[in-house]
Structure 1
Amino acid sequence: MKNLLFVALLFLTETLTAQTTKKPAQTAIIFKPLIISAPKSTAVIKGHVKNFTDKYWELAVTGDLTNYSLKIPVDKYGNFNKVINIDGETEDIYLYLNDEAITVCAQKNDILTINWDNKNFKNTFSISSPKKGTNERLQTMISIYNLYRKEITELSDTLYSDNITDSVRFNKINSLYNKEIFTAAKNLDHPETRKLITDVYYKYTGLLNEYGLLGKYHLRVGGNSNAAKKLNQLFGPEAYSIKSEFAYRNCNNYKYFIYSYLNSGKALKETRINDPALRTGVDHPTPTISGHSAAIDNLNFSGELRDWYITYMLKIKFGTRSFTDAKSIFDDLMPKVRTPRYADSLKQLYATMLLLKPGSPAPEFSLKSDKGEMISLQSLRGKVVYIDFWGVNCAPCISEIQHATPYLHGRYKDKSIVFLNICVDSDERTWRNSLASMNVEGINLIAEGWVNNQVCQKYYVTGIPHYVIIGRNGKIVNNNSARPSFGTELTNELDKALSNK
Structure 2
Amino acid sequence: MKKILYLLFLMTLPVLAGPTQTIVFSGKISNSPDGVLKVRGESFEKDIKLKPDGSFSEKLDLGYNGSYLIASGNNRAAVYLTQGMTLALNADHNDFYKTIKFSGKGSMENQYIASKNAYVNAINQQKLYVLDETEFLKEIQAVKKDILVLFDAGKFPKGVFAERERKNIDYLAQIFVLNYGKNHAHFAQLPDFKPSESFDKIDPKINLDSEADFLFSNPYKQLINLDFNQKLEAQLKPEDQFLWKVALPEIKKYKSQSIRNALAYALTVEVSGSNPEVETLYNELLALSTNPHFKKELTQQYQKISALKPGGASPAFNYENHKGGTTSLESLKGKYVYIDVWATWCGPCIREIPALQKVEKDFHGKNIEFVSISIDAKKDHDKWKKMVTDRQMGGIQLMADNDWNSQFVQDYGIMGIPRFILLDPDGKIVNADAPRPSDPALLALLAELKI
For the criterion TM > 0.5, the same-fold answer is yes
For 1:147, the equivalent position in structure 2 comes to 119
Offset at residue 180 of structure 1 (A):
7.1
Paired residue secondary structure (1:265): helix
Could you tell me how far 1:244 is from its partner in structure 2?
A: 0.7
Match in the other structure for 2:212: 246
Q: How does 1:63-462 map to 2 (within 5 A)?
A: 63=42, 73-80=49-56, 88-93=64-69, 95-96=71-72, 101-107=75-81, 113-117=88-92, 125-131=99-105, 134-151=106-123, 153-154=125-126, 158=129, 167=133, 171=137, 174=140, 178=144, 182=148, 185-186=151-152, 187=154, 189=158, 191-194=160-163, 196-202=165-171, 205-206=174-175, 211=181, 216-217=197-198, 237-240=203-206, 242-255=208-221, 257-265=223-231, 292-293=244-245, 296-297=248-249, 299-305=252-258, 307-308=260-261, 311-318=264-271, 322-332=274-284, 334-337=286-289, 342-371=294-323, 373-401=325-353, 403-415=354-366, 416-425=368-377, 427=379, 428-447=381-400, 450-462=403-415
Change (3 A) 1:413 1:129: farther
Please give the secondary structure, in 2, of the residue aligned with 1:472. coil
1:192–1:424 distance in 2 versus 1, CA, 3 Å: farther
Tell me which structure has the larger Cα radius of gyration: 2
Q: Between Structure 1 and Structure 2, how many residues are aligned?
A: 420
- Alpha-carbon distance in structure 1 between the residues aligned to 2:446 and 2:9: 27
- State the shift of 1:246 in Å: 0.5
Distance 1:254 1:456, change over 3 A: farther
- Seen in structure 2, the aligned counterparts of structure 1 residues 439 and 293 have a Cα distance that, compared at 3 Å, is same
Identity %: 20
How far the C-alpha of 1:198 sits from its partner, in A, is 4.9
Distance 1:377 1:84 in 2: 46
Structure 2 gap segments, 5+ residues each: 183-193, 234-241
Q: CA deviation at 1:81?
A: 5.9
RMSD: 4.7
Shift of 1:114: 3.9
Matched position secondary structure for 1:239: coil
Q: Deviations over 1:182-226 (max 9, x none)?
A: 367444645334555555544554565565889932699xxxxxx
How many angstroms does 1:251 deviate by?
3.3
Instruction: Indicate how the Cα distance of structure 1 residues 55 and 243 shifts in structure 2: closer, same or farther if over 3 A, else same.
Output: closer
| TM-score, normalised via structure 2 length | 0.71
Post-superposition offset of 1:354: 2.1
Judged with a 3 Å threshold, the aligned counterparts in structure 2 of structure 1 residues 183 and 366 are, in CA distance, closer, same or farther, namely: farther
Q: 2: CA distance between counterparts of 1:482 and 1:173?
A: 46
Q: Distance in 1 between matches of 2:138 and 2:280?
A: 42
TM-score (norm 1): 0.65
Q: 1:439 to 1:243 in 2, by over 3 A?
A: same
